[in-house]
Chain A
Amino acid sequence: MPPRPNITRRHFFQDCGVGVGKIALASLIADGAMGQLAAAGSGMRSGLPHHAPKAKAVIHLFMAGAPSQLELFDNKPELSKLEGKPLPPSIINGQRYAFIRPDAAVLGPRYKFARHGQSGTELSEMLPHLATVVDDIAVVKSCRTTQFNHAPAQIFMNTGFSQPGRPSMGSWITYGLGSEAKDLPAFVVMSTGSGISGGAACWSSGFLPSSYTGTRFRNAGDAILNTSTPAGIDPGTQKDTIALINAMNDRRLRLDGDSEIATRIANYEMAYRLQSSAPDLMDLSSESKETLELYGCDPKVPSFARACLLARRMIERGVRFINIYNEGWDAHSDVAGNVKNNCAKTDKASAALIKDLKRRGLLDSTLVVWGGEFGRTPMVEASVSLGRSQGRDHHPQAFSMWMAGGGIKGGQTIGQTDEMGFNIVKDEVRVPDLQATILHCLGIDHERLTFRNAGLDFRLTGVEPCRVVKQLLA
């Protein structure tokens, strides 16, 4: 008997014998057996969406290290007047800092601000490209977190908890909504900088089935690990090998009747398809020169710009949740230089992503989120022993983010901080509020997407009350 050229799923569900014949493919998939690599259009949990979704997918541009809101979004001229003097202790209110003392002197904004677009949204001169799409974005100047160290704060932003072990937003969302991706993972993670403090905990599936873990797309070697056929195995042998494995597994399925074998057969088919779908995705030769220039992307060089363009291609292919990390915003010294460098890497591409999605009609169904894990202090960081000056320390009390696209009302600015940019005075948006809002745009009620673990029904947004930020919604 020659090996079958290809074992189709239809085949084994139609004529495989004992036990499994009556188990429908849909139920296998719905069990989450295949997780975020399930077939397109499958895996939606019953009862979901809870309401009509505006967005189908999310691109989270994670500005790891924490950008300085005071050099980008939150213009505080008062700080220039006070430069060199400490803030009153009543404002500091016992806040702990990573490096500075609470009595450190104030540092004025390093850059000029101007208003842009019909909305008149205020942005610093470091964001000239974002200024061109300003009417599509909603800036939130009143974000607040509970964490003031990078790893816990990044893990908190992603999982709703400051210690590793809980499912990340991408895992929750793909667990709830399933996959629409054709031969690609539904939850993808890219990193374009010096390294993510929170590590793999940021895209972990936590206690959800582990197949909902985010799939890393890497810069060197295979984008998805092991998608290249090894040296010494020619394409014909690779194809025949998978057919052979599935033929042998099919035989075992008939004898043992274990539905897991059916899933494994489907997974070998998917693995084979991934070997071409992942390189296809990464191949930017079909992108026009104009598009490459729009992003500022050199197709051969891994960069934030390339990751943004890849994200658009993933959106076109139905990927549900995309994390792009740009690390390096941790401006403990020379905040001006830090912001300048990071904006050079990210501003053009972030704006290009909005434009490109919009002109392809994808922005309405794609939620784009831009922001870091916390903000930076109005006070200066300087240290003789560490050789630092003109920097800013970590600031959890107030920071800025922006959102655009599916479900978001663009051309607005939400929230306000005090004259020092230290505390929020209007429309506080806590991290769980952001998470609840993102889920809301996808048609998910954050209180109803739960998972029983260790004696509790866990949810992304934790046990404390939180809110969907209605002002943000279109």
Chain B
Amino acid sequence: MLRFSTATLLALATSPLLAVDFNQEVRPILAQHCFACHGMDEHSRKAKLRLDLPESAHGKGKSGELAIVAGQPDKSELVRRIFSHDNDELMPPPESKKPMSDKEKAVLRAWVAEGGKYQAHWAFTAPKQAALPQNGVHPIDAFIRTRLAQAGLKPSPEADRYVLVRRVTLDLTGVPPTPEEADAFANDKSADAYEKLVDRLLASPRYGERWARRWLDLARYADTNGFEKDRPRQIWPYRDWVVKALNEDLPYDQFSIKQLAGDLLPGATTEDLIATGFHRNSMLNEEGGADPNEYRFYAMVDRVGVTGATWMGLTLNCAQCHTHKYDPILHTDYYSVMALLNNADEPTYSIPPLDLEAKQADHARRVRAAEESLEGKFPGGAAAVEKRFGEWLNEESQRASKWETLRPSKMKSTMPTLDVQPDGFILGGGDISKSDVYDLAFDQAIKGAVAIRIEVAPHPLLPNDGPGLTNYEGPLGGFFLSEFQAWQGERRLTFDDATATNDEEEDRISDAAVAKPATKVAAKAPAKVAPKNAKRAAKAAAIRKKNNAAAALDGEMSSGWQVLGGLGQNHAAVFHFDKPTDLSAGWAIKMLFEKHYACPLGHFRVSVTTDPQATATGHPAEIEAMLAGAAPHDQAKLRQRFLETAPELAVHTKALTTLRKQVPRGQPTLVMRERPETHPRPTFLHHRGEYLSPKQEVPPAVPAFLPALPKDAPANRLTFARWLFAPENPLTARVAVNRQWQAFFGRGFVRLLEDFGYQSQPPTHPELLDWLAVEFVKSGWSMKKLHRLIVTSATYRQSSVVTPELAEKDRENLLLARGSRFRLDAEIVRDGALSAAGLLSTKMGGPGVYPPQPASVTSEGTYGRIEWKPSEGEDRYRRSLYTFIKRTAPFAMATTFDAPTGESCIARRDVSNSPLQALTLLNDEMFMEAARALGTKTLAAAADDDGRIAFVLRRCVTRPPAPDEIATMKAFVDAQRARKVADKDIWTAVARAALNLDESITHP
């Protein structure tokens, strides 16, 4: 019997004239064996010969010989060299360790003999819809059957109705049909019964959940940051957005554009912002001492690669270090694509709930009420308040100083962006590094300056509201001022001490990564300058914490002034000159922020005083100004300040402070935000792809072999996202269609879903792929229409039985003479078991949940360990889409069944078959719970064994069982009874066996 190899099957189907097909046969050989040295990379090019361009291949090489002489293989140097027996001449050279096969040599020879003609690569020219090769049949079947006929094969008959309803329900919703649903379809004799079924499934909310999971594999979605610390993150609103978008059949172009550049859309909505979480799914390394910009670079590398794989079917990542060895992608192209994606900041966005305004108004009311109630709670009543307020005014006026707020005339920073706000506060943003320095110069001349004050305050644009810019590893929104200096020209001005409003707070050592030393060695105390002011000296001596304002003057970078992040972190440090100092225009301050994580300030203001007794009073600047007589008294405000600082009311004030911090907020999620036009981020080419080797700046652009970006639009993420969906773009629709096809048939037309380049195996059905790609666009990029088109074909509806003929002729089922049978995805395996057991919850959305799994999975061997507390109630049995995904210690059952960890983009999952899967289905706690629940149901379902067995099998495999299956299971039941196993346990065991059947976990 004739057996076809993949190549002959393909060749047979596409080349009826038996001529060598360049795209199908020749280019893959040239790409594999020749382009590395004779391709477009000029750095690695040998003998000045390019075999990727016909004009070079047909021209003279360095040796003067013609590589290809059309029609004359014996005169062609290329042919001579590949057949050479001389190791010095043989191509490819033996040291490449990739010898060309005899068949490959023969193909090249034949190709040269036929003229050595080149064709454009099929995937790089826009698809066209060919005329249907057969009429009167479903378009998909027209192509598939024509091909089958060429190979001498016939399609399989339609699958049994129970197989069909199980298959299409699993494919479209990711859960099996109930026996009732299956019967309803099996008994529906109407002509459009199947179409009605399909439409019902497409409209089910389960559809979005099923298809979201596949998309999230590409998006590398997870609920933790990855790497060593692997701390939790909140980006599940993005996951829920994907479900919703798919359920609403948001057209694929909109679906994609929103994810790549939703923030840039005119009038961007909340949903558009949430969608930009797609590229926020890259990992974040919070390991102690990591360089945040290095890992931001790797995140960008990840984003370029994921974009290439997801939308373009290009292995762009191969051009990170050098020009692509096979495809026409230059090293600079890679960084130009990066530049398109690289101009965004990465904030955490609070999704405003619908009733946010009402909630905020309510909160404001409660704060006001608490403020107003303070006075009434004062012990001793109104008289006592009056007396104490008078004393307070007197005392605090003595302490207060007159401060002048200064706006810098010049600002310079190592990395963060700095902008002066109308209130004189300076707002930082952009990128941060482990060692940032701010230089602020001032034009105001001040005679006899005594101290400089730095006020810090929260701001809604900062991480965790600031006042610092720390956005990873350390306290979020905190800062660490290592050193504070003042300069007059070249002269360093000297301070003798400093006070801060948080000097009384406890120190916080923020780095959890530090291994505890076995023997405690006392850390060296910071060198202290001795203040001349006796009162301040006494206070300084009393401060036990190491990180205080004075530590920013000690010349020691590892100590400094620290404020943790969050609302309410309004603080100030006052730095005292050793003597009254005259400042003249051009004087400057320098602030150094250095720690093992990046820690610069994000929102601060500078003031100077000439008052000798200046100190960090802790009063808001406005109040201090009134107290110091620099502003008219506002009695109400002063009185309120008094009440809030009165020790008599401390317990009430504390409650008020807590209440103030409980500002109604939305659910946080990670998003992209384009940088302001004033602060664009440049992108550089990196030599050999190394972070530490940036070279020339590269402009945003797309590779030249693809259609150009529109000239009338800015070269940014939005333009790029729209360009992907331009009618002339050859790749986007094909890549998407190929991926959908793979989901239904287990294999794409192009086998590697993420590589449509020169090295890719040519499509099994190029005309059908193109037809569907064009149809997909014509349908308005409707996924549901595409899915409907596929599942209504006779090709999809075929039986998947492997006949001996098909096993011999087309074992891999490349030509689709039968339906596809493959193991279900991890999530569907689990959801199917829960569904059979009647446990599966239909609750949608929300934070990740924790189904039971052995405790050791997340507690052992992982640095960023967590205690996995199994969820109770409904959350224990949610769809697997909602299981919390921890990257470094993923859900064990999911890993065992090939689900990705979210550490990289996966277009096509492996489908393995392992003993560990058997152990999981047999013995895992979650599957046992399902077996017990199903066993209990089974026992109650019928009065006799046969009825119960039929019940349990139908719950698991949908179809009614055959008599011999019932007999086999009944024998098992009898054997257990004979061994005196309790009835309850017998039916649990039966249910467990049924859940373990190959058929229960297989796409039929």
Chain A residues in contact with chain B, CB under 8 A? 1-3, 18-20, 22-23, 33-35, 37, 65, 96-99, 101, 148-152, 163-165, 189, 191, 194-201, 204, 209-211, 213, 215-216, 218-222, 224-230, 232-234, 236-238, 240-242, 244-245, 247-249, 251-252, 255-261, 263-264, 267-268, 270-271, 274-275, 325, 327-328, 330-334, 336-338, 340-341, 382-391, 393-394, 445, 447-448, 454-457, 463
Contact = CB atoms under 8 A, between A and B. Distances in A.
Contacts of A148: 289
18 contacts: A18-B803, A152-B227, A163-B298, A197-B287, A225-B856, A225-B892, A225-B916, A225-B919, A256-B802, A271-B922, A334-B521, A385-B547, A385-B559, A391-B517, A454-B318, A454-B752, A457-B98, A463-B321
Contacts of A270: 915, 918
B291 interface: yes
B971 interface: yes
Contacts of A216: 860-861
A382 B514 contact: no
B228 interface: yes
A261 to B, nearest CB: 5
B912 to A, nearest CB: 4
B920 interface: yes
Interface stretch (B4-12, B498-506, B996-1004): B996-1004
Given A226-B924, A227-B923, A236-B979, A338 B888 contact: no
Given A226-B923, A270-B915, 20 more contacts: A149-B228, A191-B860, A198-B888, A211-B912, A218-B860, A218-B861, A219-B860, A225-B892, A225-B916, A225-B919, A230-B923, A236-B976, A236-B981, A274-B915, A275-B919, A340-B518, A383-B558, A384-B526, A385-B546, A385-B560
Contact of A34 (B821, B895, B914): B914
Contacts of B925: 230
B524 A382 contact: yes
Interface in B186-236: 226-228, 230
A200 B888 contact: yes
B801 A226 contact: no
Contact of A198 (B228, B923, B965): B228
B556 A384 contact: yes
Contacts of B857: 225
Interface in B548-578: 551, 556-560, 562
B171 interface: no
Ranked nearest first, the 8 interchain pairs of A and B with the lowest CB-CB distance are A98-B289, A199-B888, A191-B861, A455-B315, A334-B517, A257-B802, A337-B518, A271-B918
Nearest to B755: A455
Contact of A97 (B289, B547, B752, B979): B289
A230 B921 CA distance: 11
B989 interface: yes
A151 B229 CA distance: 9
B323 to A, nearest CB: 13
A256 B315 contact: no
B514 to A, nearest CB: 6
Contacts of A385: 480, 507, 509, 546-547, 558-560, 562, 595
Interface in B978-998: 979, 981, 985, 988-989, 992-993, 996-998
Given A226-B919, A248-B965, A268-B918, A99 B971 contact: no
Interface string B292-326: 00000010001000000100000101100100011
B227 A151 contact: yes
A297 B821 CA distance: 50
Contact of B230 (A199, A325, A336): A199
A73 to B, nearest CB: 21
Interface string B322-339: 000111000000000000
Contacts of A194: 515, 863
Contacts of B515: 65, 194, 328, 330-333, 338
Given A221-B855, A240-B972, A260 B327 contact: no
B519 A149 contact: no
Contacts, number: 354
A3 B971 contact: yes
B968 A455 contact: no
Contact of B912 (A209, A221, A237, A338): A209
B863 A196 contact: yes
A258 B916 contact: no
B928 interface: yes
Nearest to A37: B915
Interface stretch (B366-374, B658-666, B897-905): B897-905
Contacts of B559: 384-385
Interface in B242-296: 283, 285, 287-291
Contacts of B964: 1, 251
B766 to A, nearest CB: 19
Contacts of B230: 199
Nearest to A154: B228
Contacts of B290: 98, 149
Contacts of B800: 256, 258
Contacts of A333: 514-515, 517, 521
Contacts of A330: 513, 515
Interface string B88-112: 0000000001100000000000000
A257 B854 contact: no
Contacts of B521: 333-334, 389-390
Contacts of A191: 860-861
Given A98-B596, A384-B551, A387-B523, A220 B965 contact: no
A2 B977 CA distance: 13
A444 to B, nearest CB: 13
A328 B98 CA distance: 43
Nearest to A199: B888
Contacts of B287: 98, 149-151, 197
Given A2-B971, A3-B968, A221 B856 contact: yes
B863 A199 contact: yes
A219 B862 CA distance: 13
A96 B289 CA distance: 10
A381 B41 CA distance: 45
B823 interface: yes
Contacts of B904: 163-165
Given A226-B924, A230-B928, A196 B861 contact: yes
Interface string B376-387: 000000000000
A197 B863 contact: yes
B965 A251 contact: yes
A150 B888 CA distance: 14
Interface in B877-918: 887-890, 892, 895, 898, 901, 903-904, 910, 912-918
A227 B854 CA distance: 12
A351 B517 CA distance: 26
Given A98-B596, A225-B857, A337 B914 contact: no
Contacts of B507: 385
A151 B804 CA distance: 50
A341 B517 CA distance: 10
Nearest to B904: A165
B968 A200 contact: no
B978 to A, nearest CB: 10
Contact of A252 (B757, B971, B999): B999
B821 A33 contact: no
Given A252-B998, A454-B318, A454-B755, A220 B898 contact: no
A23 B546 CA distance: 73
B865 interface: yes
A55 B378 CA distance: 83
Contacts of A237: 976, 979, 981, 985, 989
B968 A244 contact: yes
B226 A227 contact: no
B914 A35 contact: yes
B918 A248 contact: no
Contact of A152 (B285, B309, B822, B890): B285
Contacts of A195: 860-865
